[in-house]
Amino acid sequence: MTGRRCPSCGGLVGADAEWCTQCFARLDPEPEPAVLEEISRAEGSQAPEGAGAPAEGRQAAGIRPAPTNEGAPVRVTGESIVWECPACGTENPIEARACSACGTPFGQVFEDPDQKPQVDPGRAATASLFFPGAGHILAGRRGEGYARAIVFAFALVLGVAAIGPVRAGRGGTFLALMVLSLGAATTLYVTSTADAGRVARGEDQILSMRMLLYGAVGLIFAAIVLLTFTAIQARG
């Protein structure tokens, strides 16, 4: 078995390899000798006509051009190799087993996009009306769907829990916590309904996964600060 070089990173790969073992770029199968001979004849007969003749010869023989590194799910950036998360677009080092932003497993990089469930956008949006995240799960975004559901439930429970102290006359920080939490839950509910339909149509979302995670962290931090301030006031 003869070796060949990856067109993306230049690493040595086997003649029958489908993936580069160094940069994980997709490789075209090595053409048979008879096909190579046909390409040579096509290039030789068309070469005098212009610089584009060799490419035309390859197309006539049914051979696709070598893939480029740019735009590949796994690519070389400078001196490092990174993979792009198919869910949120975050670049992660090749040694990472899951996305640092949304937790999507590395293995989903190699899944065929056509294998994702096809769902009607209206049905996805309707599912999110019952509970945020349900529409994303129907559209094949399970990780993001569960994340939206958890953040929505946390914000809703936190806001409802603050209603009791506010009604008992303990306003101030509890009122701020109630407004902040219920506002976050409402925003997530509305945007998740719209985003579920957009995901099903293959469009960009209003609230990205990264924005959702940043918002969840901000809500948790604000809740801790407000509750700590309330505890200090009670002791004083």
Residues of the domain holding 172? 121-235
Looking at the domain assignment, is residue 172 inside a domain? yes
Question: How far is Cα 236 from Cα 224, in angstroms, rounded to an integer?
Answer: 18
Q: Where are the beta strands (DSSP E) in the chain?
A: 3-5, 12-14, 74-77, 80-84, 91-93
Looking at the domain assignment, is residue 171 inside a domain? yes
Average pLDDT, the chain: 78
Indicate whether 68 pLDDT > 50: no
Exposed/middle/buried for residue 107 (C-beta within 10 Å: 0-12, 13-18, 19+): exposed
Give the pLDDT of residue 29. Answer: 63
Radius of gyration of the chain from its Cα atoms, rounded to whole angstroms: 26
Between residues 26 and 75, the one the model is more confident about = 75
Q: Which residue has the tokens 């407000």?
A: 226
Give the pLDDT confidence of 22-42 residue by residue, as tens digits: 777 777 665 555 545 665 665
Looking at the domain assignment, is residue 55 inside a domain? no
Question: How far is Cα 203 from Cα 184, in angstroms, rounded to an integer?
Answer: 23
Looking at the domain assignment, is residue 89 inside a domain? no
Looking at the domain assignment, is residue 93 inside a domain? no
Alpha helices per DSSP H over 29-106? 33-46, 53-60
List the structure tokens of 23: 């940069």
Give the pLDDT confidence of 115-169 residue by residue, as tens digits: 555 788 899 999 999 999 999 999 888 889 999 999 999 999 999 999 988 888 7
Give the pLDDT of residue 113. Answer: 53
List the structure tokens of 66: 């070598």
Please name the amino acid found at residue 230: T
Percent of the chain, pLDDT > 70? 75
Query: How many C-beta atoms lie closer than 10 Å to residue 117's C-beta?
Result: 12
Total count of domains within the chain: 1
Question: How far is Cα 116 from Cα 127, in angstroms, rounded to an integer?
Answer: 17
Give the pLDDT of residue 76. Answer: 77
Between residues 169 and 55, the one the model is more confident about = 169
Contact 153/133 with Cβ under 8 angstroms?
no
Q: H or E stretch including 147?
A: helix 142-167
List the structure tokens of 29: 């199968």
Indicate whether 50 pLDDT > 60: no
Looking at the domain assignment, is residue 98 inside a domain? no
Question: How far is Cα 84 from Cα 75, in angstroms, rounded to an integer?
Answer: 8
Indicate whether 203 pLDDT > 70: yes
> Could you say which DSSP state residue 76 is in?
E
Looking at the domain assignment, is residue 170 inside a domain? yes
pTM across the whole model: 0.54
Looking at the domain assignment, is residue 95 inside a domain? no
